Structure 1
Amino acid sequence: QANMDPNHRDRIAFARICSGKLERGMKARLARTGKLMGLTAPQFFFASQRQLADTAFAGDVVGIPNHGTLRIGDTLTEGEALVFQGVPNFSPEILRRVRLEDAMKAKKLKEALQQMAEEGVVQLFSPEDGSPAIVGVVGALQLDVLKERLSGEYTLPVSFEMSRFSICRWISADQPADLEKFMTVKRGDICRDLDGDPVFLAQDAFSLRYESERYPAIKMVAIKEYHVAKAA
């Protein structure tokens, strides 16, 4: 979660220890990337109080400060190539463009949206044609939460605009050439998600069905398993 302490703009990932022991200062392997990260300041949380966790055991929940390295569904190990089934990404029901009242804060908005997406508040899609980013949510309440947090934590008053798209599908193909051709032809309808994976946006169910029939080599799925493509 971002901005738990507004004075320091910190970001905390909460993790449950499933087995073994965590010791402050140890290095752990992030299964998604295969890279090591130092656990220099794991913390216990007691209501609004924090305490450094010198040691923690199976069953404990600790907060790990990081700068966007950890995401929902990640697995940390002492070196094993161990991957738990991650939390899947579901296709959002609502797609909106974020309208910023002060255009001079566009860079700040981009950073804020990325942090909110890493936290799981919304899904973020960056169009290949360079147009403004699109946020995806399952319900309208998430838009209210996003608007309130952008205003309160980042001083970014925003509003939301209707998008011409209503359906989102992750795309892949057995042959890279088929995927590249589809993405080139449909460039105005292609985005990248937070992990950089390609996404096809359709205006409605008819358009989705029409394009899937025109390009049978393209696989379009509504659920993306978090670790399938990224696990080491």
Structure 2
Amino acid sequence: MENAALAAQFPIEQEVKRRRTFAIISHPDAGKTTLTEKLLMYGGAIRTAGTVKAKKSQQFATSDWMEVEKQRGISVASSVMQFEHEGCVINLLDTPGHKDFSEDTYRVLTAVDAALMVIDAAKGVEAQTIKLLEVCRQRKTPIITFINKMDREVREPLDVIDEIEQILGITCAPITWPVGMGKEFAGVFDLRRHHMLKFTPGDNTAHQAVEVLESVDDPYLTKNFPIAHATFKEELEIVQEAADPFNQEAFLAGDLSPVFFGSAINNFGVRDILEALTQWAPSPRPREAKETTVYPDGKQFSGIVFKIQANMNPQHRDRIAFLRICSGVYRQGLKVNHARSAKPIRLDHAITFMAQERAHLTTAYAGDIIGIPNHGKLRIGDVLSEGELLAMAGIPHFSPEIFKTARLNDPLRSKQLNKALKELGEEGTIQVFEPLEKTGMIMGAVGQLQFETVAHRLLTEYNIDATFESVPVHKALWVSSEDIHQLKRFTQTSSVRLAYDAAGALAFMPPTRAALDITIERWPELTFHTTREINAF
């Protein structure tokens, strides 16, 4: 690969500094996947971008590779894309925006160093955005904000900024400010360079020239957009006096977000975001592990699996483990230790991604996301490392809210169904529980759309036709105890309500809240967890 050849020219410290690994987060329909394509286009990864929902022309988002995504026009799986821009190697992770797939997004956010938050200028802060930002704030992830769709009739920009600060609890530092909206959208004023960038709609290539107006009172504005221009002058005075200036330290600490306005579908504002990512976003940072700190420019390789994806290529029935490199260098044939099993693994055929397109690589560095062909040995949360076994911070599973079981239209395919559900459970598409009483697999999900995705994938990827029926389960809570004898006794007496998840962890599945409360009262020696941290040990 060309990237690998270039990488070999630089020492590890320099390669790590070149990396920018970030996720794009938003509420559904804010324009996240469209923006992803435009970033790829400006980064030279693709030549032109097609509208996400242009179904008639069969143009789908580069990052939406699943058939179900193409049909619905939404992202339901996280995609990884790597490209170079302005001397930086950018690893871009496009995440599901729909709330039903929030768990996948949470896991992705453990693998990135920054986030790009997309806000619909007409709708402002929405529910899913709040949840995702909470995860970012907990991890002190730096956030760049893009307020999208200014070419439409939207809310007043001051109101949107105020809402972001009030609801999300993060200080906003406007970098650009819009002149008008909808048909009166004339462009944005760059507060750093003190000039106007004129809006021109419709160009769908990376070579679109942006006309610069040196004066905020340029005749083009006063003549063609008199009302929008007058409003802008009033807002600009307020912004310049009251808004917080951009501060790099506050940004890196996750306390301040630079804000850009634009229109992703018209390629307007995308260059500014790429510039911010390359100049301001952090390179890979140290990661805490049990009893040690893992430094990205360390000599020994380490990485953590944050996602498993089966059947990215249905013709080959493959299973790929997505691994974030935390330190050192990957080279083909690298021998590492698998912390959970304490066994050695040889990494021979790692791949890099451009959504569904992939290429074998020979070299990768801390910050990169690589794919490891996997036949069931690797799970989410597994740590691979040279030298000592490492246990890094866990990747959480959350207690599901809806529970169902699958009923086959062809009973002879029960073995194939169990295998398929286990694979989907291991990759995180849905949570799968196997009851101790062997009464049939139970699926747990955050939302209904997850079941629709599973049904579609069972049919198209495994040729399994099944219907789903609700199961009387109130909640799934993982059980632990320091008293091994009490845990064993609980397992024996309550086996009818116990199950193992895809990773073999014991979960209690009561039918009602009352049953849960009684059990907790009767078994004080046990701890019932609403989340399960996926750790190496």
| Shorter-chain TM-score range | over 0.9
Q: Secondary structure at the match of 1:69?
A: coil
**C-alpha distance in structure 2 between counterparts of 1:19 and 1:174, whole Å:** 34
Q: Is the Cα–Cα contact under 8 Å of residues 320 and 374 in structure 2 kept in the other structure?
A: yes
**Equivalent-residue separation in structure 1 for 2:501 and 2:356 (angstroms):** 34
SS of equivalent residue, structure 1 residue 18: strand
User: Using the alignment, how far apart are the partners of 2:370 and 2:470 within structure 1?
Assistant: 39
Per the alignment, residue 28 of structure 1 pairs with: 336
The superposition leaves residues 31-71 of structure 1 with CA deviations (integer Å, 9 ceiling, x where unpaired) of: 22221111111112234432211111222221111112222
Partner of 2:66: none
2:352 alignment partner, one of 44, 54, 59: 44
8 Å Cα contact 1:17-1:57 kept in structure 2: yes
- In 2, the alpha carbon distance for the partners of 1:145 and 1:80 equals 40
Alignment of 1:90-109 (within 5 A): 90-109=398-417
2:362 to 33, 54, 65: 54
Change (3 A) 1:104 1:83: same
Q: Please say if 1:140 is aligned against 2:448.
A: yes
Query: Which residue of 1 is the match for residue 435 of structure 2?
Result: 127
Counterpart residue number, 1:81: 389
Quick check: 1:24–1:55 contact (8 Å CA) kept in 2?
yes
Q: Which amino acid aligns with 1:128?
A: L
> Secondary structure in 1 aligned to 2:348?
coil
Residues in 1 aligned to 2:474 and 2:411: alpha-carbon distance in whole angstroms: 26
Where structure 2 has 5 or more consecutive residues not aligned to the other structure, the ranges are 1-308
**Aligned in 2, Cα 1:49/1:215: closer, same or farther, shift over 3 Å?**
closer
Q: Normalized against structure 2, the TM-score is what?
A: 0.41
In structure 2, the CA distance between the partners of 1:48 and 1:215, relative to structure 1 (3 Å rule), is closer
1:125 counterpart letter in structure 2: F
**Could you say which structure has the higher helix fraction?**
2
Contact 1:74 1:86 in 2 (8 A): no
Q: C-alpha offsets along residues 77-109 of structure 1, whole Å, 9 cap, x if unaligned?
A: 112222221211111111111111111111111
- In structure 2, give the amino acid aligned to 1:77: S
Cα distance change on mapping 1:16 and 1:198 into 2, 3 Å: closer
Q: Distance in 2 between matches of 1:51 and 1:173?
A: 45
Identical residues among aligned pairs (%): 40
1:118 counterpart SS class: helix
Question: Greater CA radius of gyration, 1 or 2?
Answer: 2
- Return the alpha-carbon distance in structure 2 between the equivalents of residues 195 and 50 of structure 1: 28
Letter in structure 1 aligned against 2:441 = A
Of 171, 176, 179 in structure 1, the residue corresponding to residue 487 of structure 2 is 179
Verify: 1:18 aligned to 2:332, yes or no.
Answer: no
Q: Normalised by the size of structure 1, how large is the TM-score?
A: 0.93
Distance 1:24 1:101, change over 3 A: same
Hey, what's the Cα distance between the residues in 2 that align with 1:59 and 1:80? 20
